[in-house]
Structure 1
Amino acid sequence: MPQHHDPGTADAPEGQASKSGFRPTAVAAVELGVVGQSVGVTVPGASESVQVTGISLDSRTVERGDLYVALPGAARHGADFARTALEAGAVAVLTDDAGARLLALGSDIAVPVLVVAEPRSVVGRLSRLIYRSQDADLPGPSMFGVTGTNGKTTTTYFINALLQAMGKKTGLIGTIEILAGGDPIPSLLTTPESTDVHALLALMRERGLDAASMEVSSHAVSFRRVDGVVFDVVGFTNLTQDHLDLHGTMEEYYRTKAELFTAERARAAVVTVDDEWGRRLAAQTELPVTTLATIQPGSGPEADPAGPAGADWTVTDSKPRGLGTEFTLRGRNGTELRVHTGLPGAFNVSNAALALAMVLAGGADPAEVQAALDSKDPFTVAVPGRMQLVSTRPAAVVDFAHNTDALARALAAVRSPEPASKVIVVFGATGQRDQGKRPSMGATAARLADVVIVSDDDPHDEDAAAIRAEVLVGATDAKEAEQLDCKIMEVYPRDAAIREAVNLAAPEDTILIAGRGHEVWQEVKGVNLALDDRVELRNALTARGFTVLQDDGIES
């Protein structure tokens, strides 16, 4: 059978199976008549009693008893793959008028076809119905959703680690991996399609999980991947320029994020009010809201001189402890919690504080939380590709920082107090994404690093040299205009750039490899090339005779 993929699905890198592993082992059948009724479609005659036990947008993941949803795509319509879905056991098809016409033009379809104007708009609702993923009669895990530009991944890991320290059985849906109380399931998207999300929630309920945390990107909201999900607590980290290729403006980007903070999608909110977007969101949300201030008034480039006065929780008394920070989270009601994170950077203080505030907003007892913080140190959990330490002399760090704000925070976090030490950064910009941030990323690197090595990120179908040129313009213009004392280099491919960074490093220096984090594939002109920054960095350090950490969790 020829290879194909359906519209709206992610291409799986070579070596990864695309068959869904998210489903519960048992699903009580729903009659097709009930499915049709929920979307305003009358199912005629005997077809009403057809038993539906699953739902899929991708013909490759269809299992016996599924409703196959045939969506329109940029190049092909999902109806073109209906035959494959039926051969796999689909018992009905849901599509739009165009899909119905395509099905009518082909050979006879021996299963019922339900037609709605906008099928994607009902997929989340149907997935929730079919999997009974959040059914009042079937209690499932408490759900924590985290959104914002930076910090989503780390915050979800922190929530999970804290809940586990409190003896809870947890799950996670995120960029790096998906966990359902057992072995990790590789994640291809920041948030999977709504069909998979609801199947996962049913699987988590089946496995007896107490709670789960989920990254919710703006893409997930825009593409309706979290439709039908109701979170117990949603959290907001920050908003800085990113994804404007999708949203166009910061205002539209904000509005997309704000859609998560509605009664239809959540029961309570925790909002970090360090930036103007957070303060606006806290004021506008209809949800019961807890506010969190993690930047002391007047400190940091993003701080409002007036400060976020009157926040429900405030970070105070921050001081270094090893590579990380210890601080106090002080409540307006007088509650105080002593907190430590072993991950470097002020932004990880913000991430830890948000995770803590969200767990408290979910009903946790502060005394129980403090006992878990003291006994388990949950906010020192290693997060793959997020400020991940590969060696200590030189300090060598891999981070996902892929926009201007995240790069600035990462560079500030890794600056060593050791005299005469240098910061060497390797980074690039992603192709076919928000082009406006490329010069500003270059300028930020020039201001905050001593050696700037511009290389490739994921060029996708764009010319890699042209992307590098845009980043280099920002770096060189900033160096000249501001008389910066930094060295700027262009080195590619990326593995060569990483080796060059290590070759330039002395033991007292810091190397930051930014932009790709945990990713193990680099897409160039439609081809997925094996490339893991952590592996390349470790190999280059070893080749130079430097000692690397043995418990870094990196797989060669």
Structure 2
Amino acid sequence: MNISEMIAGTMFMPPEWDREFNHIHSDSRDIQPGDLFVARKGHASHGQEFISAAIDAGAVAVFSENAEMFRCESGNVPVFPVSDLEQQLPVWLQNRYPGFKSLTLYGVTGTNGKSSVTQFIAQLAAASGKRCGVVGTLGNGFFPDFEETKNTTPDICVVYRLLDQFFEAGADSAALEVSSHGLHQGRVAGLIFDVAVLTNITQDHLDYHGDMANYFAAKAALFDKDKAKSAVINIDDEYGARLLNMPDLCDHYLTLSSSKNNKADVLFNKITATKSGMKAELQTPWGAGDVYLPLLGEFNVANLAAAVTTLAVTGENFDDLLAKAETLQPVAGRMALYTKPGGCKAVIDFAHTPEAIRVAINSLAPLSDSISLVFGCGGDRDRTKRTLMASAAALADNVWLTDDNPRNESAEQIFNDVSDSPDASDFTYIHDRAAAITAAIEATPEDGVLLIAGKGHENYQDIMGVKHKYSDEAVLLSLGYQRAGGGYAS
């Protein structure tokens, strides 16, 4: 495509500076020869600082936000000033990557559950013979083959390019995790979602948003009638209930609840743990029925209800969706069970918020009277959350506090913050995460369950700027554990 085609109708391109280009990037590290670089103002820096790097990497032209004037850089590369770049960029991306127009778009936001809901949507769609791409924390692509990603919701240039690639690969839909950062920074600007989903909102990312009001406002933006055609909202969550009072809420929405008292459009209840997973009843506008889920945790029933409702809103058969739920595979790092002859059960979950820890522990309660926990708190993140994490962790019978990703913060300081909670007085403190897991396994009875939480999907620990190769799963495998297949081992 020529630059003039991309910007048609938005700005004038002198013919002498028009040229062909391949892809559009706002990260200079992604530039390949023939690409176009967009120098935007970011959260911590401005793309103008990286124009030379982009040109050295092969950029054929640059559009720079708030640049003073047109100039030509080395190699005859034009740098065009654009005062309203944030408004123009979505239009340009839509011209370059039109595939998104042919996709049914599902946007899922919430503190917890985004990965599960998006991947459940993709798996259920695949079971119906359709192809649904996924964009999210655990990677981008088609389940279960995901390519690693830098962010839950990537940069806007990456989002549009991915959607276009999904369409070219035969997809008819895409499920996107839409983070509060992604919404606040305009990473999904210009997209209109067929269905927007709210799982829940609990304290997280206050280091970025400042307070819960701003955090909620960021997520609520996804449900504006200009951004979503329909919505699925969990009103068991207090912020979900608040969302219903939003003046610009999309015209069509369905509510979810596990409580009959909420008079929700979709009710999921009678939840029980079985030898092979979870069983529940769903009552919906499309009918009622029992659903059997080969996964751990009551929260996964809520995630499934959200996924089923989302697909039913766009025309999928409800009864077929219930039947296909029995084939769902667990999402990486979401209550993944590992077993070892003669050893306790071990469960890895990426829970990193107080509510997620609380839900995970309660979900394991039906499996054993003895629940142990290994968890950590990430460095350079919201410090006010740490005592809340301790209170949630104290629901377990025995707790080991260990390092997560200390990043550039003192690991000892993180321990001190957690220990400020009176609930942390009986915790065992071990910085070495592998050693903490080993100690917890040795101390947990054979009929007990060890929950290993807090560490994310990264295959490293970030300590003072150095990324050390590490994974909780690798530790378990080295101790003789194996990943349980299907639901969970008895």
Alignment CA distance shift 1:128-1:312 (3 Å): same
Q: Equivalents in 2 of 1:390, 1:493: separation in Å? A: 21
Asked whether the 8 Å contact 1:330–1:337 carries over to 2, the reply is: yes
User: Residue 516 of structure 1 aligns with which residue?
Assistant: 455
Alignment CA distance shift 1:521-1:77 (3 Å): same
| Percent identity of paired positions between Structure 1 and Structure 2 | 33
User: Residue 295 of structure 1 aligns with which residue?
Assistant: 258
Cα offset, 1:489, TM superposition: 0.8
Comparing 157-166 with 77-86, greater Cα deviation is found at 77-86
Are 1:130 and 2:130 an aligned pair?
no
The residue identity in structure 2 corresponding to 1:549 is R
The residue identity in structure 1 corresponding to 2:483 is L
The residue identity in structure 1 corresponding to 2:7 is V
Q: Equivalents in 1 of 2:327, 2:232: separation in Å? A: 20
Are 1:43 and 2:13 an aligned pair?
yes
> Which string of whole-angstrom CA distances, capped at 9 and with x for unpartnered residues, describes residues 77-105 of structure 1?
4334333433444232111235x57x95x
User: Residue 391 of structure 1 aligns with which residue?
Assistant: 339
Are 1:148 and 2:110 an aligned pair?
yes
Alignment CA distance shift 1:521-1:326 (3 Å): same
Unaligned runs of 5+ in 2: none
Q: Equivalents in 2 of 1:388, 1:60: separation in Å? A: 34
> Which string of whole-angstrom CA distances, capped at 9 and with x for unpartnered residues, describes residues 440-498 of structure 1?
1112212x111111111111111110011111221xx1367xxxxxx421011211111
Cα offset, 1:413, TM superposition: 1.0
Cα offset, 1:411, TM superposition: 0.9
Q: Which of the two has greater strand per residue?
A: 2
Q: Equivalents in 2 of 1:334, 1:130: separation in Å? A: 39
Q: Equivalents in 1 of 2:45, 2:300: separation in Å? A: 43
User: Residue 370 of structure 2 aligns with which residue?
Assistant: 422
The residue identity in structure 2 corresponding to 1:465 is E
Q: Equivalents in 1 of 2:144, 2:387: separation in Å? A: 43
Alignment CA distance shift 1:36-1:539 (3 Å): same
Asked whether the 8 Å contact 1:231–1:266 carries over to 2, the reply is: yes
Are 1:208 and 2:170 an aligned pair?
yes
Q: Equivalents in 2 of 1:450, 1:246: separation in Å? A: 33
Match for residue 469 of structure 1 among 416, 431, 437: 416
SS at match of 1:238: coil
The residue identity in structure 1 corresponding to 2:441 is V
**CA RMSD in angstroms, aligned pairs only:** 2.5
User: Residue 167 of structure 1 aligns with which residue?
Assistant: 129
Unaligned runs of 5+ in 1: 1-28, 298-306, 481-486
User: Residue 348 of structure 1 aligns with which residue?
Assistant: 300
Are 1:368 and 2:337 an aligned pair?
no
SS at match of 2:333: coil
Q: Equivalents in 2 of 1:74, 1:517: separation in Å? A: 23
Q: Equivalents in 1 of 2:286, 2:277: separation in Å? A: 25
User: Residue 358 of structure 1 aligns with which residue?
Assistant: 310
> Which string of whole-angstrom CA distances, capped at 9 and with x for unpartnered residues, describes residues 128-168 of structure 1?
22222334xxx2x3211110111111111111111111111
Asked whether the 8 Å contact 1:329–1:353 carries over to 2, the reply is: yes
Cα offset, 1:319, TM superposition: 2.2
User: Residue 76 of structure 2 aligns with which residue?
Assistant: 110
Alignment CA distance shift 1:237-1:174 (3 Å): same
Asked whether the 8 Å contact 1:416–1:510 carries over to 2, the reply is: no
Match for residue 410 of structure 1 among 360, 378, 381: 360
Asked whether the 8 Å contact 1:30–1:51 carries over to 2, the reply is: yes
Cα offset, 1:327, TM superposition: 1.1
> Which string of whole-angstrom CA distances, capped at 9 and with x for unpartnered residues, describes residues 278-336 of structure 1?
01213325313333333225xxxxxxxxx322x111113222222521112112x4611
Cα offset, 1:73, TM superposition: 5.2
Q: Equivalents in 2 of 1:499, 1:208: separation in Å? A: 45
Q: Equivalents in 1 of 2:144, 2:359: separation in Å? A: 33
SS at match of 1:260: helix
Cα offset, 1:438, TM superposition: 0.2
Alignment CA distance shift 1:235-1:467 (3 Å): same
Alignment CA distance shift 1:73-1:199 (3 Å): closer
Q: Equivalents in 1 of 2:345, 2:197: separation in Å? A: 32
Are 1:308 and 2:252 an aligned pair?
no
The residue identity in structure 2 corresponding to 1:468 is F
> Which string of whole-angstrom CA distances, capped at 9 and with x for unpartnered residues, describes residues 179-210 of structure 1?
14784311221111111111111111111112
> Which string of whole-angstrom CA distances, capped at 9 and with x for unpartnered residues, describes residues 235-263 of structure 1?
11011111111111111111100111123
User: Residue 457 of structure 1 aligns with which residue?
Assistant: 404
Q: Equivalents in 2 of 1:272, 1:130: separation in Å? A: 36
Q: Equivalents in 2 of 1:222, 1:128: separation in Å? A: 20
Q: Equivalents in 2 of 1:265, 1:188: separation in Å? A: 24
Are 1:378 and 2:327 an aligned pair?
yes
User: Residue 66 of structure 1 aligns with which residue?
Assistant: 35
SS at match of 1:134: helix
Q: Equivalents in 2 of 1:239, 1:75: separation in Å? A: 26
Q: Equivalents in 1 of 2:79, 2:100: separation in Å? A: 27
Alignment CA distance shift 1:367-1:470 (3 Å): same
The residue identity in structure 2 corresponding to 1:35 is I
TM-score computed with the length of structure 2 as normaliser: 0.92
Q: Equivalents in 2 of 1:209, 1:188: separation in Å? A: 23
Q: Equivalents in 1 of 2:245, 2:42: separation in Å? A: 38
The count of residues paired between Structure 1 and Structure 2 equals 484
Q: Equivalents in 1 of 2:25, 2:206: separation in Å? A: 29
Q: Equivalents in 2 of 1:43, 1:127: separation in Å? A: 17
Alignment CA distance shift 1:248-1:118 (3 Å): farther
> Which string of whole-angstrom CA distances, capped at 9 and with x for unpartnered residues, describes residues 192-233 of structure 1?
111111111111111111222111110111122212222211
Q: Equivalents in 1 of 2:456, 2:66: separation in Å? A: 42
Comparing 503-512 with 317-326, greater Cα deviation is found at 317-326
1:253-272 mapped onto 2 (5 Å cutoff): 253-272=215-234
Asked whether the 8 Å contact 1:121–1:224 carries over to 2, the reply is: no
Alignment CA distance shift 1:330-1:73 (3 Å): closer
